[in-house]
Amino acid sequence: MARSLVDTNILVYSRDLNEPVKRAQAIEVIDQLRASGELVLSAQCLNEFSSTSLRRGTPISEVRIAVSRWHDLGDVLPLTGAATAAALTAVEQYRLSFWDALLWATA
C-alpha cells in the first residue's frame, strides 16, 4: 500500500479560516488519505504546525486538540538521530533546505 507523508502546510491550511479554498482542499486531502489508510504524519510536521499556529495567535488548547486528533488519524514518524544525519547528507548532495531534507529523511 502506498503511503503519503503530509506536509506542514496541509495541516496549517486545514485550520486557516482566512483561506477558505485552501482550507477545503487541505481538509479533502487529509480526509482522503485517512479514509484510504495512507495518511502519514511526522513529528516534525506536528511541531512545525504547533509553532506556526502559536505564532499566529491560536490558543494552545486548540493547538493541543488539533495535534492530538491528527496523531490519532494515522502513523506519526519520529525524529531520530539517523534522520538528522541523513538530512545533512541530503542538504549537501541535493541542496535541499535542512527542514525539507529532514522531512525527506524521515519519510
What is the sign, positive or negative, of the torsion defined by CA atoms of 8, 27, 64, 55?
positive
For residue 23, what pLDDT is reported? 98
For residue 74, what pLDDT is reported? 83
For residue 107, what pLDDT is reported? 87
For residue 1, what pLDDT is reported? 74
Residue from 10, 4, 24, 3 nearest 66 by CA:
10
- Cα-only R_g, the chain: 14
For residue 92, what pLDDT is reported? 97
Q: What is the pLDDT along the chain (107 residues), one digit of tens a residue?
A: 789 999 999 999 999 999 999 999 999 999 999 999 999 999 999 999 999 999 999 999 999 999 999 999 989 999 999 999 999 999 999 999 999 999 999 98
